[in-house]
Amino acid sequence: MGGGGGGGDSGEPEFQVAPMIDVLLVLLIFFMSITSAQVLKVDKNIQLPLAVHGVKRDDKAAAGLINISWNEATKSPTFKLDDKLILDADTKSAYIDGSKEPVVELLKKRKGNNEQFRLLIRADKKVQAKFVDRALRWGAEAEVANIAFSGVNNEN
């Protein structure tokens, strides 16, 4: 009859490992592809401010992420759009490192016709409000209506 392999007379079927590994690899690729890329773009050096009454957003809307870190040595902020450095952030012509495209134009392109597009601003708790205002202005000029701030709900 059709058995497979040298199971012999014991009556126990052999366990096929190769098909199971194939299925596991397919599942791994699937879960890696649906995982949000925003996790990779978060700057771990930023210490978020305390927001005791903050509400966690669980929606998966398309988002742009601006990280604003604080350099204690130079007493100045560093702006990043996703994981790309923003140069000339103190001027109206702020642009992404490696490209001369203005930040506002890049945000407009990402938003397109998507009214659900959200700009998430993650600023270090040492960053002054005038620097956060720059990121807000970029969002406003790009006509992004949904702007959110990131914070923590406890000191730990």
> Is the per-residue pLDDT at 9 higher than 70?
no
Distance CA 95, CA 88 (A): 7
* 95-123 pLDDT, tens digit each: 888 888 889 998 998 888 888 888 888 88
Q: Return the domain boundaries, the chain.
A: 38-149
> Is the per-residue pLDDT at 153 higher than 80?
no
* 20-78 pLDDT, tens digit each: 899 999 888 887 776 655 555 666 677 666 666 666 665 555 678 888 999 889 999 99
Distance CA 117, CA 109 (A): 11
Q: Classify residue 23 as exposed, middle or buried by CB count within 10 Å of its CB (0-12, 13-18, 19+).
A: exposed
